[in-house]
Amino acid sequence: MNRKPHVAVLPNLGLGHLIPQLEFAKRLVVHHGIQVSLLLITTNEPSPAQDQLLSSSHLPLDLHIVPLPPVEVDKNIINDGDVLVLTRLCVITDHSLRSLKSVLIALGKPNALVTDIFATQAFDVCKELLIPTYVYVTTSVAFFAFMLYLPKLDSDVNYEFIDLPEPIQVPGCSPIRTQDLLDQARNRKIDEYKWLLHHFSRLPLASGIFVNSWKDLEPVSIKSIKENPFFKQIPTPPIHPIGPIIKQEETLSVIDVECLKWLDKQPLDSVIFVTFGSGGTLSFEQQTELAWGLELSQQRFIWVVRKPTDSTGAGTFFNAVETNENDPKVYLPEGFLDRTQGMGFVVSSWAPQVTILGHHSTGGFLSHCGWNSVLESIVHGVPLVTWPLYAEQKMNSTMLVEDIGMAIKPKMEAGQQTIVGRKEIEKVVRMVMEGEEGKVIRSRVKELKESATKALDSSGSSYESLSCVADYWKTNHN
C-alpha cells in the first residue's frame, strides 16, 4: 500500500495555465513526497506544444498524467469563429468536467484536488465525494484580489465599469485604472463577463488558495487579502504564496540550438528578447512598426515572429506550436531581415524562452506581461519593456512599472489607441538596454531575483508555505 498522500491537479487549457501547474505538481512530488495525478483537459484538436511538454523525460515517477475524455470541439458552439477565448475555454472545460466524478473515483478518491480558477465546477464534484478542493491562481496576487472583489463591484455598480469616474479601489490594494481592466470586464452583457463573474464568485468555496507569487514581490496585496476586513468577511480561504514557480527545462529544436549559438557570440546583457508568450499575436500594422523600431534602435535582438492577425491579441492561445509554415519574410518590411542581419535573429513562431532569458547575453525582455513571463524575467534578472495584449496583462504592466519598478512601458502614437509607433519603440528599447532608467530597473530586477531565490530556498517563505499544506495532507490522508 502506498503511504504517500495522493493529490490531483487540474490545470486548464492553454500553456499559460498548464506550465505553472505542471511545475507545481513536480514540486509536490520532488520536494514534498506527494503522489500527484495531473488531470488533463483534452479536445479532438492537436496540441503539439502540450504533447511535447508532457512527454518530457524529466517528469518524476510519482507524477502521473491522466487525460480526461476529449471534448469534440466541432460538435459544440465552441467551434464558432466568433466565440472569444475565455468563453471557448470555459465551455470546453464545462464539457470536459462532466467526466470528473468517475475519473476521481477511478483514482481512488485523492486526498485533495487543486483546480484552475476557470474550472470551479470541480467544487461541486469534490463536495459530493468529500474531497477538499484548492485553487491554483496562475496570475498575480493583485489580480486575485480583484477576482475576489468583482462580485461586490458587480452588485454595487449598475453600469459599465469602464464608465466609472474614478479608478476601481480594491480594498487595501493599489487602485485599478478602468483603461487597465481586462477585456472580459469591459462589457458586462457578453458571455465572457458572465463566465468571469461565475468562476470568481465561487472562489470562496475553496479550502485554500495557492498563488504563484511571494511576499517581497507583492507585499501590499498579500497583506490586504490576509488582514483587510473586506476579505475576511467574504470569507477568503487561506492564501498560500508559493512562487515563483516557473518552467525549469525546455526541449531544444535545431533552430533553437542555432539561435542559442548566435546568442553565445553576443556581449553580456546586449540582446533584447522580443516575444508575446504562447498565445500573443500583433496586427500587421503593429508588427511593421515594431520591426522598424527594432531596426532604428540599433540594439541586438531576438524576435519571435508570428503571422499577424487583426482579430485578436490572443491569436495562438489554443494552438501554440513550433512551426515554420509561416515565413517571416512575407509579413516583415521588405529588406528588414537583410538590413538587420548580424544585429538581430528572427525566429518563426516559437523560441525556448526560459533558456534565452537565462543566457548571460540577454539584457532586456519586450513582453506581453503574462504572469509566467513576468516571473521568468524576475528569476533570471532581466528588466522588461511591457507590451500587454489581453487578459489581465494591462494590470500587470501598470504594476510592474509603477508599483514594482522593474519595467518601462511605451506610449501609444498621438491620437492612436492601438498602435505604438516606431520612434517610441526605438526610444524604449534604447532606454532599457543602455539608458540611465534602464540601469535603475536592471538593479531593481536583480534585487527581486535574489528575493525570489530566497523565497524558494528550503528555509524560504514560499517553500515553507507549500510545506505547511503538504504536511497537512500527509497528516490527514487515509
Q: Which residues are catalytic?
A: 17, 116
Question: How many C-beta neighbours within 10 Å does residue 402 have?
Answer: 11
198: left (phi over 0), alpha (psi -120 to 50) or beta: alpha
Pairing of strands 300-305, 271-274: parallel
> Helix/strand/coil (H, E, C) string of the chain?
CCCCCEEEEECCCCHHHHHHHHHHHHHHHHHHCCEEEEEECCECCCCHHHHHHHCCCCCCCCEEEEECCCECHHHCHHHCCCCCHHHHHHHHHHHHHHHHHHHHHHCCCCCEEEEECCCCHHHHHHHHHCCCEEEEECCCHHHHHHHHHHHHHHHHCCCCHHHCCCCECCCCCCCECHHHCCHHHCCCCCHHHHHHHHHHHHHHHCCEEEECCCCCCCHHHHHHHHHCHHHHHCCCCCEEECCCCCCCCCCCCHHHHHHHHHHHCCCCCCEEEECCCCCCCCCHHHHHHHHHHHHHHCCEEEEEECCCCCCCCCCCCCCCCCCCCCCHHHHCCCCHHHHCECCEEEEECCCCHHHHHCCCCEEEEEECCCHHHHHHHHHCCCCEEECCCCCCHHHHHHHHHHHHCCEECCCCCCCCCCCCCHHHHHHHHHHHHHCHHHHHHHHHHHHHHHHHHHHHCCCCHHHHHHHHHHHHHHHHCC
Compute CA distances 399 → 141, 142, 233, 283, 371, whole Å. Answer: 11, 9, 26, 25, 12
- What pairs with residue 199 in β-bridges? none
Of residues 94, 90, 91, the one with CA closest to residue 77: 91
Report the alpha-carbon distance of residue 109 to residue 111 in Å, rounded. Answer: 7
Cα-Cα-Cα-Cα dihedral sign, residues 379, 385, 389, 390: positive
What end-to-end distance do the CA atoms of the chain give, in Å? 11
